Amino acid sequence: MAATLTRRLLLLASVLFSGSCYAEDKEQAIFDFITQGKPEEALAVLSLSECERYLEACASLGAGLLEYDPYAESGKKFLSRAAEGGHAQAKVIIGGFLIEGTLFDQDPAAGIALLEEAVELGASEGMFYLANEYTKGTHVEKDDVKALELYARASDMGHIYAPYNAGVLHWDLYKDCRTTERYFELGATYVADALKALEEIRTQEPCASLLESGRYLPDTLFDDVLELQASATQETLDGLYEYGVSETDELKLKYTFNTNDERMAESLAETLIGLGYSSEFSYAPGSDSVYVVSGWTIPVPVSRESAANWTESMCRIGFSHDAEFTGWGTKPAQ
């Protein structure tokens, strides 16, 4: 990762200028010397005391010197000075080093903090690597929704690797064929796995029929959804009964549906309100195409038979509005 990030910063340095011709000349000279294998000459172009004035040149010099072992310590000093001065890409590189323990003593917390600062500065690389951390959950609490938000932002900014990751995660979270297809399509030009995934989602079920039919939930998937939710209901009831809930009790249930059509989301919410339920809809976290319809029911019997019948009715109500019933939960103490 270190070498990859360093090279990206060095390339960025050739086009990111601080605004003055003198600064531009320094950056160009550093870039030329580094790419020509002349780190000593590059080091002579700029002193540490000049970093605040020539921030881009300072970051470029630090990144370039890391490629040469005898000059790595000097590179770290220049890169650190650039990061302290607010250079977003320098923060990304050092943040990655700190997390991995490369060149710098390992300090994941400090590395995460630098990535967060880079994200605040609008660095797509920072978004990508911070999203990776949220996906892995090693140094921060695992949070796939937060990771997807970051991958999506990086994708919108043109990051070439983020769309594939966003597509994989969006599918895992929402099983939304259209948005997943869009992410894979964005990444297919640069990432072989994205091209392969794009071909699969367009030719294999469950998405092939949906993408062709235009429905969010095609006929062919309804039985699968019904079976999945019927099984999930029984598992939830097992947990409730163990907690002390009786089959003769009635509880308010928190339900959710997904759809990709705002009109259908609104219509579904109105239908549920007509049943006496509370209901609202909004975009799913990290998505600009999937709507979540959610709310609370009136008290519902939680015997196995009654809950199973209610689950089936919710699946069918959802299907009639081209929405997928994605499950329910509750609070035992009501």
Encode pLDDT of 179-213 as tens digits: 899 999 999 999 999 999 999 999 998 888 778 77
List, run by run, the mean pLDDT of 10-residue segments along the chain (334 residues).
48 38 72 90 94 92 90 94 95 92 93 97 95 96 95 94 96 87 93 96 86 78 91 96 94 96 93 95 86 96 96 93 94 87
Q: How far apart are alpha carbons 305 and 291 in whole angstroms?
A: 30
Full 3-state SS string of 189-227: CCCHHHHHHHHHHHHCCCHHHHHHHCCCCCHHHHHHHHH
Q: How far apart are alpha carbons 199 and 16 in whole angstroms?
A: 37
Distance between terminal CA atoms of the chain?
51
Chain length of the chain: 334
Q: How big is the CA angle at 116 (ends 113 and 118), to the nearest 5 degrees? A: 115
Alpha-carbon Rg for the chain, nearest whole angstrom, is: 26
- Kind plus residue range of the DSSP H or E element containing 256: strand 253-259
Q: Are 255 and 294 in contact (CB under 8 A)?
A: yes
Q: How far apart are alpha carbons 21 and 57 in whole angstroms?
A: 12
Looking up tokens 């009786």 gives 246
Closest CA relative to residue 63, chosen from 44, 91, 85? 91
Encode pLDDT of 273-296 as tens digits: 999 999 999 998 878 889 999 999
Query: All domains of the chain, ordered by start, with CATH?
Result: 2-142 (1.25.40.10), 219-330 (3.30.70.970)
User: How many CB atoms are closer than 10 A to CB 278?
Assistant: 15
Full-prediction pTM beyond 0.75?
no
CA–CA distances in Å: residue 268 to residues 173, 225, 232, 279: 21, 17, 22, 9
